[in-house]
Amino acid sequence: MKKRLTKLVALAMILALALAAFALPASAGYNRGLAIDYANRHALSRNSAYANITPGITSLWGLLGGVGNCANFVSQVLVAGRIPQTPRTNHGLSATIGRNWARDTSTNHWYHNRQVLPQLLGLSSREVFVFTGTFTNVVPQRTYHVTTRRRATLLTRTAAQIQNATPAQNAQWIVNNAQRGDIIQLGDRHSVILHSVSGNTGTFSGNSTDRRNHPLNTTAAGGLVQSAAANNDAIRLIRFTITAI
């Protein structure tokens, strides 16, 4: 009986170790506090650890589907909140002359880092920024977190619903259905972070037109719900379901 009990205990320990090996690391939870801390620091001041995606970064950037730094900034906020990146180096990319970045077209990866890449024409390798469209572009960002990784749910307020409501009602819909650190997207063109919630309204932070802790609903420049209405956008909420801290 004693030997059998010893065997059962040993088996339980082996099983526990095996389960621990496959368990998600602590960093897999989303720390919304750290995410908003990053937004406070870098909404108005670019982080040099990342490429600054602007329309003028290269004449080819528009052809690659990038029009600004908005999705790039939002992804940085998520990384600061301990959502793990999924980098790779076996992408076959090379460093193009006159360009300090390379874009990985994988839809199954999400990352933005520095890598040393070979150059064409026998030139020596050099370090450039490498990032995926899932990290820096609005629609791929949404698809990756909601569909590919299934770490977030999507809720949409249609353009018609926005047009038929007041700005206050549209702002209230956002804060009623999202938490700070969730992503707000205007149509397929713009991503920002919900920065704070207060009563029936809240604030957001974002890049391209840089805003930090800016009101969702304001008649001054930069009101998010006013922008959605003016551009006939839908408002999409990407709501993270992994552990919130």
Report the pLDDT value the prediction gives residue 66, as an integer from 0 to 100.
47
d(C-alpha 133, C-alpha 124), whole Å: 26
Q: Structural domain tally of the chain?
A: 1
Q: Is residue 94 part of a domain?
A: yes
Q: Is residue 1 part of a domain?
A: no
Tally the C-alpha atoms within 13 A of residue 129's C-alpha that lie toward its C-beta: 20
Report the pLDDT value the prediction gives residue 23, as an integer from 0 to 100.
35
Q: In 43-61, which positions are buried (b, 16+ CB within 10 angstroms) versus exposed (e)?
A: beebeeebbebbeebbeeb
Q: Is residue 16 part of a domain?
A: no
Report the pLDDT value the prediction gives residue 6, as an integer from 0 to 100.
52
Q: Is residue 15 part of a domain?
A: no
d(C-alpha 34, C-alpha 36), whole Å: 6
Q: Is residue 135 part of a domain?
A: yes
d(C-alpha 31, C-alpha 52), whole Å: 24
Report the pLDDT value the prediction gives residue 65, as an integer from 0 to 100.
44
The angle at the Cα of 111, spanning 197 to 188, to the nearest 5 degrees, equals 55
pLDDT digit string (tens) for the chain, length 245 residues:
555 545 544 545 444 433 333 333 433 589 999 999 999 999 999 999 999 987 654 434 444 444 589 999 999 999 999 999 999 999 999 998 888 999 999 999 999 999 999 998 778 999 999 999 999 999 999 999 999 999 999 999 999 999 999 999 999 999 999 999 999 999 999 999 999 999 999 999 999 899 999 999 998 888 999 999 999 999 999 999 986 54
Q: Is 42 exposed, middle or buried (0-12, 13-18, 19+ CB in 10 A)?
A: buried
**Predicted TM-score of the model (pTM):** 0.84
Q: Is residue 84 part of a domain?
A: yes
Report the pLDDT value the prediction gives residue 109, as an integer from 0 to 100.
98
Q: Is residue 19 part of a domain?
A: no
Report the pLDDT value the prediction gives residue 134, as an integer from 0 to 100.
97
Length of the chain counted residue by residue: 245
Strands 183-186 and 201-206 turn out to be: unpaired
Domain that holds residue 128: 26-240
Report the pLDDT value the prediction gives residue 22, as an integer from 0 to 100.
33
Number of H helices, E strands in the chain: 8, 9
Instruction: Give, in order, the Cα–Cα distances in Å from 57 to each of 12, 45, 47, 100, 154.
Output: 56, 17, 16, 9, 31
